[in-house]
A and B are shown apart, each in its own frame.
Chain A
C-alpha cells in the first residue's frame, strides 16, 4: 500500500511562494489502478514526483508498505526507485540507444548480468508487443510505440508500482485506448499498483478503480470511480463527468409544459424496462433526447437526458420513482 500523509510542496515565486501540493493525504491500495485528475496546474504532476522524490516535499510522509521514503538516503532511495517504474507524457527515451538498449538501461543500473539482461529485455518487449522493433532507434517509432518502449523500460525491473504522468496525453484517442489496455493487462500479469495522472476523464473511466480529484494543490474528492460518476460532490468533478455527457446545448429547445431531466444510473442496477413502466404507471410522456453508457473499468454508468411532459404532480411522482430505483435525477430545467 502507498500511504501519503499530509504531503506539502511549495515553490519559490517572486510574489511569495506557490503551494503546488497542499496537505495531500491519500491511501492507494496494492494492486489497484488509482487515478489522479485535475486541470493543468492543479499540482498532480508535482504530487506524483513527490512519491519517488524526483521533487522533494517540504513536509509530510511517504509510506510504501513499511518504508518511509523521505527518510532514505540517496543510496537507499535509488534502490527503492528501482521498484517504482515511471512513464511520462513525452516518453523520455534515450536517443543514443536502440529500443532494446533503452529497456536494458534500468537493468544495467541494477547491475544485472548481461545474459540475464538479454533474456529479460526479450521477455519485456514481448509483453508490450514490440519484439520486432528491438534493434530500432526510438526516432523511427510512432508515439504509441515510443510509449510502449517507455512502459517496457519502466517495468523491466519488475517494479511493484507504476507511476504514469499524463502518459496518454500526447497520443491520439485510438492509441490512447491501446496503451490503456496494455496498462490494464500489465497490471494483472505483473500485479502492479498503478497511479495514473491525467486531465482526461476518459482515461479515468477506462481503467481506474478509484480516483482523486485535485484542485489548487489539494485533493478535493476521492472515491470509487462509479461513485464519482454517480454523485460528483464538487463543481470541478461535475464538470469532468458532464464533459463526457452528450452536449445539452445541441439538444432541441424544451417544450414549455415539460421537465428536462438528467438521469444517471449504474448500468447493472436496471433490471426492468424503466421508462416504459414509468410511462404506463404515471401517465406521463417521456422523450429521450440523449443517451450514453459510460463503460467504467468496474461497472457501466448510464446517462439519459429525457424530457418528461405531464402535470407537475405526475412528474414529481415520476422523479420519486426514479429515486427509488437508485437513479440519480438532476432537473436540468423545469
Chain B
C-alpha cells in the first residue's frame, strides 16, 4: 500500500503553484490582452504602434519553450523569492510563461464583443476606461472564464514540467519516484491525480461559463 501522505504534499504543492501563477499571469495578461484589443485599428482607442509592440512581445515570449524560459528566469526567481528551487520559486516562471497566453485568450474573447454594441456605447459617450470595465469585460465574461480555465489547465501541465528542474509538486514526484527509481505505480498515480485535477478544473470552468450564458438567455 502506497503512502497517502506521499501524494498529499505534492498535490497541495501543485495546487499552490497553479493557484498563485494563475493569479499572477492574469494580473499581467489581462491588462495586456485588453490593451491589445482596444489599441487595434477602429477600436476604442486605436494605437497601431502600441498594438504592434505588444503583439511582438507576446509572440516572442510565447515562442520560448517553457523549460528554457524557466532556466532563463532563474535570476529573476532568485531576486524575488531568494531561491531557484521549490514551489514558490517556480511560481515566477510559471506566471511569466502563462501571461502571454492569457493575453491572447483575453484578446480573442474581447474581440468577440459585437462591434455594433461597442459603437452604441461609444455613441453614449463612454470613456476608454468605462468601455473596458462596463462593456468589454462584462460582455466577454463567459469567454474569459473558459479562457482562464484553459490557462489553469496549461499551468497544471507546466507545473509538472517544472518538477523536472526542482519545482516540486506532482511532476517532481512522478519524475523522482517513477522515472529515476522505476516505481511505475507512483508515476501512474501521480499522472492520475493530474488527470483528475484537469477534469475537475474543466468541469468547473464549463459549469461557470454555462451558468453565465444561461442567466443571459
Contacts and interface: CB of A to CB of B under 8 A. Distances in A.
Contacts of B125: 77-82, 106, 109-110
B139 A78 contact: no
A142 to B, nearest CB: 15
Contacts of B120: 86, 88, 92-93, 150, 153
B168 to A, nearest CB: 40
A20 to B, nearest CB: 15
B116 A137 contact: no
B134 A105 contact: yes
B176 to A, nearest CB: 47
Nearest to A75: B127
A157 B217 CA distance: 27
A88 B121 CA distance: 12
Nearest to A137: B216
A88 B141 contact: no
A92 B119 contact: yes
Contacts of A105: 121, 124, 134
Interface string A66-96: 0000000000011111101110101011111
Given A94-B135, A94-B138, A95-B139, A84 B123 contact: yes
Interface string A99-119: 000000110111000000000
Contacts of A86: 120, 123-124
A77 B130 CA distance: 15
What is the predominant secondary structure among interface residues of chain B facing chain A? helix
A153 B217 CA distance: 20
Nearest to A82: B125
B124 A153 contact: yes
A178 to B, nearest CB: 21
B124 A82 contact: yes
Interface in B119-154: 119-127, 130, 134-135, 138-139, 141
Given A82-B124, A94-B135, A94-B139, A140 B116 contact: no
B117 A140 contact: no
A153 B135 CA distance: 14
A81 B120 CA distance: 11
A18 interface: no
B124 A96 contact: no
Interface in B62-112: none
A140 B138 CA distance: 19
Nearest to A83: B125
8 contacts: A78-B125, A78-B126, A94-B139, A96-B138, A97-B138, A106-B124, A108-B134, A163-B123
What are the 5 A-B residue pairs with the smallest beta carbon separation, nearest first?
A81-B125, A92-B120, A78-B125, A96-B138, A92-B116
